[in-house]
Amino acid sequence: MYERYLSRKLREGVIPEHIGIILDGNRRFARSMGLDISEGYKLGAAKVREILEWCDEIGVKHVTLFAFSTENFSRPPEQVKAVLSVIREEIDRLRSELDDLRRRGLRVRFIGRLDLLPEDLREAARRLESATRDFGERTVNVALAYGGRAEIIDAVREIARKVKAGKLSPEEIDEETFKRFLYLPD
């Protein structure tokens, strides 16, 4: 009932075209409920699926999920393994639901320093992104091994390479040029 009320109220206002969600609190929630941390991540993943359905219903076109930051690598190895395992399960689940994603016009993209992730996870992400590339106008961006500073550094390094190679002059560097070197230039 509350969900219908909230949905109706949202439809009365301006619907954002793009929202970002930082996926945080799964460990705290699991501890507070006396659950294993990996169970907290699984419950968090289920909630994300629910949120994405709500976004579908109200017409949000783009959602960015900040799922795993570069800082998360400093957590204990068993926690890193647990969260990456749940992410891999979710990628596999989405791959098994390609017809539904196509029907919903939903493509999935991955951003971040993906080279820091285990090879099997990178490959699964690449396959899902490739499979959904032409599915439509709606997008879920999944930020893995992502950090805002890391993205800026990566963009600056790539610009510096272009300048050094003579493919870009320093005078050409402006906001639009910089934007082209971000993980999602569009």
Give the residue numbers marked as catalytic: 24, 72
CA distance 128 to 140: 12
| CA distances, 32 to each of 6, 28, 35, 53, 145 (Å) | 27, 6, 8, 27, 26
The partner residues of 62 in beta bridges, in order of sequence, read 18, 139
- Token look-up 């909630």 returns 47
Provide the β-strand partners of residue 138: 106
